[in-house]
Each structure stands twice: as C-alpha cells, then as structure tokens.
C-alpha cells in the first residue's frame, strides 16, 4: 500500500512527492522540510536539493506561523517567499514554502485603473437599429 505521511520526522524522500505535485499545480518553486530533518527544493518538476532548509522555513517551524518575507540568505536570497506551517495537534511538524509572485507585483500599479476599467466595461451596450 502506498501512502504519504507528513510528520515531524518526515525526510526529503517522504516530502518530495507532495512538493513535486504542488510545483506541477502552481508552476512555482516549492520547498518543504519537517521540523526534525531537512527536506526538498523543487523547481521545474525536478528535485534540485534533497537536503534543503532555508531561513524562512526554519523561522516558520520555530514560530508556527505563516510568514511572507524576502530572505537575506539562502537559495532564494532577495526573492519574496511565502511559507506556511503544517500544524498537527497544535505543533508545526513541517513547513511548505513557495516563491511569492504576488510579492513581486506592484499591486497599485497593476490594479490602479481597475475601477475605471470596470465602469467602462459595465456601461450598457448600445442597441443596433
């Protein structure tokens, strides 16, 4: 019987299938590690590192809270990341991170004219006579 387990003792080979599936869905780099062991770094459908940890993953495991940050060191230095804990029975047993593309977008710049666009699109269409 095949099964996937995420626990505080999960190792990279336990987490790789989940990280690869997430990477396939969102098409962004994914990192995962358990609280006791390094995990994986996945990009473009491949495991690039099976002994991976990063500063934001480690902070999320320490605090048990999700973090959006720009790491000052590590594989994603200078790149916005979003990391969340996997909480079981009130404890962060693992952490999952992605490159945060939303953090790279200037939201006001992109959506600044949104209201005007909606108004223009919402106007009644003139009838053809």
In a domain, 33, yes or no: yes
- Tell me the pLDDT tens digit for each residue of 62-111: 999 999 999 999 999 999 999 999 999 999 999 999 998 876 666 666 66
Instruction: Examine the pLDDT at 1 and tell me if it is beyond 90.
Output: no
Token representation of residue 73: 């060191």
Q: Check residue 61 and give its pLDDT.
A: 98
Residue 1 covered by a domain: no
| Residue 125 maps to a domain | no
Quick one: pLDDT at residue 2? 79
What distance in Å separates the CA atoms of residue 127 and residue 1, rounded to the nearest whole number?
64
Alpha-carbon gap, residue 27 to 57, rounded angstroms? 20
- pLDDT given at position 19: 97
Assess if residue 121 is contained within a domain: no
Domain hosting residue 22, numbered range:
12-104
Say whether pTM exceeds 0.85: no
For residue 86, is it within any domain? yes
pLDDT confidence of residue 5: 81
Assess if residue 80 is contained within a domain.
Answer: yes
The residue-averaged pLDDT of 8-16 equals 95
Render the burial of 48-70: b for 16+ CB within 10 Å, e for the rest.
Answer: ebeebbbbbbbebbeeeeebebe
- If DSSP codes are grouped into helix, strand and coil, which group holds residue 12? helix
pLDDT tens digits for 14-51? 999 999 999 999 999 999 999 999 999 999 999 999 99
Give the span between the Cα atoms of 129 and 123, in whole angstroms. 18
Residue 44 lies in a domain: yes
- CATH number of the domain enclosing 35: 3.30.450.40
In a domain, 4, yes or no: no
- Number of domain units in the chain: 1
* CA-to-CA dists, residue 64 to 9, 59, 83, 113, angstroms: 16, 8, 10, 38
Q: Answer for the pair 14, 4: CB distance below 8 angstroms, yes or no.
A: yes
């Amino acid at each position: 019987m095949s099964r996937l387990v995420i626990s505080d003792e999960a190792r990279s080979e336990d987490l790789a299938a989940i990280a690869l599936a997430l990477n396939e869905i969102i098409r962004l780099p994914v990192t995962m590690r358990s609280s006791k062991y390094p995990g994986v770094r996945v990009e473009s459908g491949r495991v690039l590192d099976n002994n991976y940890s990063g500063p934001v993953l480690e902070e999320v495991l320490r605090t048990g809270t999700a973090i959006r940050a720009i790491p000052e060191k590590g594989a994603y230095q200078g790149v916005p990341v979003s990391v969340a804990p996997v909480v079981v029975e009130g404890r962060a047993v693992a952490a999952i991170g992605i490159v945060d593309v939303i953090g790279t977008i200037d939201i006001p710049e992109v959506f600044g004219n949104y209201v005007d666009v909606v108004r223009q699109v919402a106007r009644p269409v003139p009838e053809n006579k």
